[in-house]
Structure 1
C-alpha cells in the first residue's frame, strides 16, 4: 500500500475562503509540572463532538491556557462525548466549524493543512466506492452567496506515526503528564509501516497532528471520480 500527504492544491483556480473556528475546545496548559511547557494545539479536531449537554459549557468556549489540573478535569468531563479512540491533547478543537465562507469551492477543501472538508455529494461518492473511515460532520458556515455548497468536515482520527529514522536521534519522549511531543515536523518524512491503521483510508498522524495522510485507494477514487481541490504528495513508508 502506498500513502500520501493531503494538502491544499495551490495550483487550482478555486477561490473559496473560510473564516472560522471550531465551536468549542479544550484549554491549553500553563507550565506543565512535568515538562514545564506552556502549550496548546488546536490542529487535532473532533467536529462530531456535541457539548450542549455539558453544564459548564462556557469553560469550553474561550481559547486560553489553564493549570494542568483544570485541563485534565475538562478533558475527562467531555471524554465520554467523543469517539473512544480520541486523542485529547491540550487545545483540542471540538464541535462544528463556525464562521463565514465565500467563493467557489472544489469537491475537496483544505483551508488549513490540518482541516479536510468535503462537499456532501463528493463524500457520498467516496463512500459508495467503499472507502473506509469517512465520517462527514456538519459545519456552521454562513455563505455570502447564492447556491452555496454544503461543506462537511471529515473527522480524522489519530493513527500512524513517523518512523524514528526521520526524527532527531537525541529527541526526548513525549511528556508523561501533558503528552507534549516537542519536535518540529521534519522536512524529510517516513511513515512507520508498523503503526499504520488497516481500517481507515484517511487519517491524522498521532505524533504530528497537522499532517493528514491517505491511502492510494483514496487517491485513486478521487482521481477516478474527478474530485479535486487538494493535492496528494507521496509519503515514503518504512518496510
Structure 2
C-alpha cells in the first residue's frame, strides 16, 4: 500500500479563506505531575462530538490552561461522548467549526495542516467510490457572499505512527500521566507499516496529529474525478 500526506495546495487558484475555531475544547495543562511540563496540542479534533449534554458546558468554551487535576476531571466528562477510536490530549477540540468564510473554495479545502473540509458534493462522490473512513460533519461558517458552498469538516481519527528510524535516538518514552512525547516532527518522515490501519483511506497520525495521511486509492480517486484544492506528497513506509 502506498501512502501520501494531504496538505494545502499553495499553487491553487482558489481564493477561499476561513477564520474559525471549534465550538468547544479541553484546556491545556499548566504542569503535568509526571513530566513537569505544561502544554496543549489542539490538533486532535472531533467535530461530531456534541458537548451540550455536559452540565458544566462553560468549562469547555474558553481556551486556557488548568492544573492537571482539573484537566483530568474535564476529560472524564468528555470521554463517554467520543467516537470509537478517538484519543484526547490537552487542547483537543470538539463540535462544529464556527467562524467566517469568504471567497471561492475548491472541492477539498485544507484549513491548516490538520483540518480538512470538503464540499458536500465532493464527499458524496468519494463515498460513492467506496473510500473508507470518510465522515463529514456540519460546520457553522457564515459566508459573506451569495451562492455559498456547503462545507463539511472531515472527522479524521488518529491511527498509525512514524517509524522509529526517522525519530531521534535516545528519546524518552511518553509521559505515563499526560501522554506527552515531546518530539519535533521530522523533515524526512517514514511511516511505521505495523501501525497503519487496513480499514481507512484517510487518517491522521497518532503521534503527530498535524499530519493527515491518505492512501493511493484516495489520491487516484480524487485525480480521476478532478477533485482538487489540496496537494499530495508521497510518504515512504517501512
Query: Scaled by the length of structure 2, what TM-score is found?
Result: 0.99
Distance 2:121 2:75 in 1: 34
Deviations along 1:135-179, one digit per CA (max 9) or x if unpaired, are 000000000000000000000000010000000001111111011
Matches within 5 A, 1:24-173: 24-173=24-173
Alignment of 1:199-238 (within 5 A): 199-238=199-238
CA distance in structure 2 between the aligned counterparts of 1:193 and 1:76, rounded to whole angstroms: 32
Query: How many angstroms does 1:182 deviate by?
Result: 0.3
- The 4+ residue runs of structure 1 with deviation greater than 4 A are none
1:84 deviation in Å? 2.5
For 2:94 and 2:101, the matched residues in 1 are separated by 19
1: CA distance, partners of 2:170 / 2:181: 13
Unaligned runs of 5+ in 2: none
Partner Cα distance (1:109, 1:177) in 2: 35
Whole-angstrom CA distance in 1 between matches of 2:157 and 2:113: 15
What is the SS of the residue equivalent to 1:110?
strand
Q: How many residues align?
A: 238
Instruction: Specify the alignment match of 1:191 in structure 2.
Output: 191
Counterpart secondary structure, 2:111: coil
Question: Which residue does 1:22 correspond to in 2?
Answer: 22
Q: 2-side partners of 1:86 and 1:71: how far apart? A: 17
Q: Alignment partner of 1:12: what SS? A: coil
Deviation at residue 76 of structure 1 after TM alignment: 1.1
Hey, what's the Cα distance between the residues in 2 that align with 1:20 and 1:132?
27
TM-score (norm 1): 0.99
Distance 1:15 1:163 in 2: 36
Q: Distance in 2 between matches of 1:51 and 1:115?
A: 20
Instruction: For 1:198 and 1:69, locate their aligned partners in 2 and report how far apart those are by CA, in whole Å.
Output: 37
